[in-house]
Amino acid sequence: MKILITGGAGYIGSTIASALEDSGHVPVLLDSLVNGRIEFTRNRIFYQGDIADAKLLARIFSENIDITCAIHCAALVNVADSVNSPYNYYKENVAKSIELFKNLHGVGCINIVFSSSASVYDDVPNFMVTESSPLNPRSPYASTKYMVEVVLRDFCQAHGMRSIALRYFNPIGADMKMRSGIYARNPSHVLGKLVSVALGREQVFKITGVDWETRDGSGVRDYIHVWDLAIAHVKAVENIHKIFQMVDNSFAVLNLGTGKGVTVFELVEAFERVYGKVVKKEIALARPGDVAGAYANAETALKLIGWRAEKSIDEGIADALKWDLLRETIIKP
């Protein structure tokens, strides 16, 4: 199959492209390169441009008439930045997604897999969430993911489209063959910060927020290897017809996580175990948009697409460290 990936030059989009290729499919990448990397598009069908550009999308489909599905990854993703600059997030993540869906319908692409987020969930007593758990997005970033889900659901009902929203938990690691990974030298996510401190680019790792109602006071997350995440997308597009024979509507939601909650203190302990050294750390206040967290009940993904996360948190940490050492040989300054 030939699959369109918006944001295909990004961390997750490029890993999905690799997983599709390894499974015998052909990814077609669309990326503005505002955040994505040209290095991740090598030897792939690639179009540089905006996801809301109707003429470009029409060209892509006229030149690739056998595209059967679109995977929509393109988005701004920094929670703290979304708090400070909500306009950019609603414009880029919501308004442009609406144009994309309208244009996909116009070119006859009815199958969409959407990169959503577990940040849409409300806090629950035991931190484990199912797809039917209460929602309460608490940052502009999270709100954009929720809004796009609503838009997609309505498009599916109105226009005969079919969509799967994959609610990611916390991706870590890199492509298994080290073809791509986190490209920022100083990333904002927790494991990236740990790697930066361990390798001397930052002085201290800050554990932001230690008074959450968790077992040790730090936030709880579900850290999923990005390769497991990518494989879930492959299974979603391969099983999209089967999925909608099993559900009673044209819009489905799946959690993508390991089913294991790990606190930040526990992540630091695992990192030091894998790295073999202690990292300098300190307690800090929670950041704007931070939440206590959650972990996934991913049984629906197992039922509908036969997917379960396989890789451990130690493997994710080891691959993140390995990628960081290789990144400068792959990513141009």
**Euclidean distance between CA atoms 247 and 33, whole angstroms:** 36
pLDDT band at 287 (very low <50, low <70, confident <90, very high): confident
Q: What is the mean pLDDT of residues 75-91?
A: 95
221-238 confidence digits (pLDDT tens): 999 999 999 999 999 999
pLDDT band at 186 (very low <50, low <70, confident <90, very high): confident
141 carries an active-site annotation: yes
Domains and CATH numbers, the chain: 2-177+222-257+295-311 (3.40.50.720)
Q: What is the mean pLDDT of residues 74-100?
A: 96
Which residues lie below 8 Å from residue 61, measured CB to CB, with a gap of 6+? 67, 107, 108, 109
Structure pTM?
0.96
Q: 79 near 14, Cβ under 8 Å?
A: no
pLDDT band at 332 (very low <50, low <70, confident <90, very high): confident
Residue 82 has a pLDDT of: 96
305-318 confidence digits (pLDDT tens): 999 999 999 999 99
Residue among 178, 192, 191, 184 nearest 222 (CA): 191
**Is 294 buried (19+), middle (13-18) or exposed (0-12) by CB count in 10 A?**
buried
Residue 306 has a pLDDT of: 97
Residue type at position 68: T
Residue 58 has a pLDDT of: 98
Q: What is the mean pLDDT of residues 163-181?
A: 96
Point out the catalytic residue in the list 141, 146, 183, 295. Answer: 141
What 3 state SS string does 242-300 have? Answer: HHHHHCCCCEEEEEECCCCCEEHHHHHHHHHHHHCCCCCEEEECCCCCCCCECEECCHH
**Euclidean distance between CA atoms 84 and 64, whole angstroms:** 39
237-278 confidence digits (pLDDT tens): 999 999 999 988 899 999 999 999 999 999 999 999 999 999
- Mean pLDDT (the chain) is 96
Residues paired with 26 in a beta bridge: 2
- Judge whether residue 333 has pLDDT over 80: no
- Judge whether residue 28 has pLDDT over 90: yes
